[in-house]
Chain A
Amino acid sequence: MKRSGVGESGLIFNEPLIFDRGHTGEQGYSLPEWEGGEEAALKALPSHLVRDEVEGLPQVSEIEVVRHFTRLSQWNFSIDSGFYPLGSCTMKYNPRMNEAGAALPEFATAHPYQGEEFSQGALRIMWELQQYLGEVSGLPAVTLQPAAGAHGEMTGMFMIRAWHGDRGRPRRTVLIPDSAHGTNPASIVFCGWDVREVKSDAEGMIDPAEVEKAMDKDVAALMLTNPNTLGLFEERVREVADIVHAKGGLVYMDGANLNAMMGITRPAEMGVDVMHFNLHKTFSTPHGGGGPGAGPVAATAELEKYLPVPRIVRKGEKFLLRERSRKSIGRVKAFFGNFGVLLRAWTYIRSVGPEGLREVSETAVLNANYIRKKLHHAYDVPYDRICMHECVFSDRRQRERVSTLDIVKRLIDYGIHPPTIYFPLIVKGAIMVEPTETESRQTLDRFVEAMLAIDEEAREQPDQLREAPVRPKVGRLNEAKAARQPDLRWYPPGPEKSG
């Protein structure tokens, strides 16, 4: 196997469960004496909150705890440790400058209760970020409150609902292309609305004829992603938007793939009325693993009055929080959104600049097409044409011997995080690769070499591929068993197992 430079040498330490570390009586804390004696303290507590014994609590010193979790963190794979071409997720590098800004004590110690007067800097940054996002999207009315992309979708849908409500027509169906992210239909259902799926055409694009057919008086909006999940630009998006508008609907855009178009075109030009941004994708804030995140929403001037409160308004040189707005959908988040994340996105935009943002998109698109061209002789590309920031392969040519899962598991042995697989659903055995703009040509070449080597292995030693990965500490996991019989907690040793 060709050496890829990652995980080639070095020690892989074993690490027991924290329960198996340490020994009886070992501890990492020392509590002061009870004031007034233990008995008095016990009396002060409600009896149902008092336990005589805590079974099976780890008995470890502070350094044991630190070593345990440091070791576990070293087993992790992240963008800071290797190439992570997870399609649709935009795993770009998070510049350290963002962190430096967020660590400034003026920001790090700011508190939402310190009031407008003492928050002018923070408010100004938020107000400016709203302007920047408005400029990138062409949609001037921006809120920074939603805590994630899906939260942004919900916020946008509530605004669309309010708009229809004001027109006295409570529409409740949303059109969604069959290539959409699963989050899109989930958000619609969460809002209590119905989803109507629109079939893509043979080229993997939204079909205006299908939209025309599906569009009726019950349809509140069309929700689309552009570029779509095949990484293709929806060339007829304006035509589709016009069809929806002509029949009284609005157009929502999932901004998941905005990374492909910054400074080149704007959602407003495509007829989009409302959209959200995934700051952790396009604007290089950390992928929070559940939070804190940010999914700002931008809308047309017509929809501004429905934006959630509080709104940040500028009055001369002062920035104010406006809590009341008659038509607003109300609050969607405590306080003012996840400021630390917003600050990182602001830092990124300021450090890269307008030309830089355009270059980000151009390089992201170039990198994806480089990989597509380098691999399309070996791997099937179901929609083989110029793609945007990501490209979708399939296992069609390897399928007789190995599957998509085997191929990408083998990538782990080459020190590369597997791409997104089996998505979008409209491509059988999909392998979705998004290199992002932050990877060098050398890294892309290493990925291409690994993929070509795996294709060769698929022909010559398919059995071995089905065992992959073989080099990490933990090999191929039984995913079906993990989902069917999840083993999520530790039980103290003993005859009985419960739960």
Chain B
Amino acid sequence: MDFPADLKYTKEHEWARQEGKEVTVGITSHAQEELGDIVFLELPEVGTEVVRGKTLGVVESVKAVSDLYSPVSGRVVRVNEGLLDAPERVNEDPYGKGWMIVVETPEETGREGLLSAAEYEAFVKEEKGA
């Protein structure tokens, strides 16, 4: 399983990559593996305000429909529109081509409480054991 060290994670299995004020958001490799083939995505529009821990969209796989939770608060500045026609990219490349949205956040706010790669990996192991 893959837990890139430069990312931050949520317990709801989203990842966040920070570059300056912009944070790119997607779901983890573990999440896509658990969901199975992803067939549909509902993402917010550019300009939408998302809130840390609140729903930002929906991901639907052959097994289940799940909410996506925002790892940070801020305004959506880019959306990976291409995913809507090719949701399989989330399965194929969750940390790359499968990115979902970019959120512009006020500097250093609402970042606390996100997990490091090591913490997230431990959390996943614990969940699996349960």
Binding site for B on A (CB under 8 A): 182, 421-423, 425, 428, 479-480, 483-484
Q: Contact: A483 with B65, CB < 8 Å?
A: no
Which of A182, A422, A423, A479 makes the CB contact (< 8 A) with B37? A479
Beyond A480-B88, A484-B88, is A422–B39 a contact (Cβ under 8 Å)? Answer: no
B87 to chain A: closest residue by CB: A484
Q: Is B62 an interface residue (CB 8 A)?
A: yes
Q: Within 8 Å CB of A423, what residues of B?
A: 64
A421 to chain B: closest residue by CB: B63
Interface centre among B36, B37, B63, B87, by most chain A C-beta atoms within 10 angstroms, is B63
B91 to chain A: closest residue by CB: A480
Q: Which residues in chain B, 34-55, are within 8 Å of chain A measured between CB atoms?
A: 34, 36-37, 39-40
> What are 18 of the A-B contact pairs (CB < 8 Å)?
A182-B65, A421-B63, A422-B63, A422-B64, A423-B64, A425-B64, A428-B34, A479-B37, A479-B62, A480-B36, A480-B37, A480-B39, A480-B62, A483-B37, A483-B39, A483-B60, A484-B87, A484-B88
Q: Within 8 Å CB of A422, what residues of B?
A: 63-64
A480 to chain B: closest residue by CB: B37
B40 to chain A: closest residue by CB: A483
Q: Within 8 Å CB of B88, what residues of A?
A: 480, 484
| B42 shortest CB reach to chain A, Å | 13
A478 to chain B: closest residue by CB: B37
Q: Within 8 Å CB of A484, what residues of B?
A: 37, 39-40, 87-88
Task: Give the complex CA separation of A428 and B128 in angstroms.
Answer: 9
B88 to chain A: closest residue by CB: A484
Q: Within 8 Å CB of B37, what residues of A?
A: 479-480, 483-484
A186 to chain B: closest residue by CB: B65
Task: Give the complex CA separation of A484 and B63 in angstroms.
Answer: 14
Going nearest first, the 7 A-B pairs with the smallest beta carbon separation are: A480-B37, A483-B39, A422-B63, A479-B62, A484-B39, A480-B62, A480-B39
Task: Give the complex CA separation of A421 and B64 in angstroms.
Answer: 10
B62 to chain A: closest residue by CB: A479
Which of A182, A425, A428, A483 makes the CB contact (< 8 A) with B62? A483
| A442 shortest CB reach to chain B, Å | 33
Q: Within 8 Å CB of A425, what residues of B?
A: 64
Interface centre among B40, B60, B62, B64, by most chain A C-beta atoms within 10 angstroms, is B62
Task: Give the complex CA separation of A108 and B77 in angstroms.
Answer: 59
| B60 shortest CB reach to chain A, Å | 8
Task: Give the complex CA separation of A428 and B33 in angstroms.
Answer: 12
Q: Within 8 Å CB of A421, what residues of B?
A: 63
Q: Within 8 Å CB of B60, what residues of A?
A: 483
Task: Give the complex CA separation of A304 and B63 in angstroms.
Answer: 40
Task: Give the complex CA separation of A335 and B65 in angstroms.
Answer: 35
| A107 shortest CB reach to chain B, Å | 40
Task: Give the complex CA separation of A483 and B36 in angstroms.
Answer: 13
Q: Within 8 Å CB of B65, what residues of A?
A: 182
Q: Within 8 Å CB of B64, what residues of A?
A: 422-423, 425
Q: Within 8 Å CB of B36, what residues of A?
A: 480
Task: Give the complex CA separation of A295 and B40 in angstroms.
Answer: 30
| A420 shortest CB reach to chain B, Å | 12
A423 to chain B: closest residue by CB: B64
Task: Give the complex CA separation of A182 and B34 in angstroms.
Answer: 18
- Besides A480-B39, A484-B39, 20 new A-B residue pairs in contact (Cβ under 8 A), listed by A number: A182-B65, A421-B63, A422-B63, A422-B64, A423-B64, A425-B64, A428-B34, A479-B37, A479-B62, A480-B36, A480-B37, A480-B62, A480-B88, A483-B37, A483-B39, A483-B40, A483-B60, A483-B62, A484-B40, A484-B88
| A476 shortest CB reach to chain B, Å | 12
Interface centre among A422, A425, A428, A484, by most chain B C-beta atoms within 10 angstroms, is A484
Task: Give the complex CA separation of A479 and B88 in angstroms.
Answer: 13
B130 to chain A: closest residue by CB: A202
| A418 shortest CB reach to chain B, Å | 14
Task: Give the complex CA separation of A102 and B70 in angstroms.
Answer: 52
Task: Give the complex CA separation of A483 and B60 in angstroms.
Answer: 10
| B13 shortest CB reach to chain A, Å | 13
| A382 shortest CB reach to chain B, Å | 10
Q: Within 8 Å CB of B87, what residues of A?
A: 484
A404 to chain B: closest residue by CB: B63
Interface centre among A421, A425, A428, A480, by most chain B C-beta atoms within 10 angstroms, is A480
Task: Give the complex CA separation of A428 and B63 in angstroms.
Answer: 11
Q: Which residues in chain B, 59-85, are within 8 Å of chain A measured between CB atoms?
A: 60, 62-65
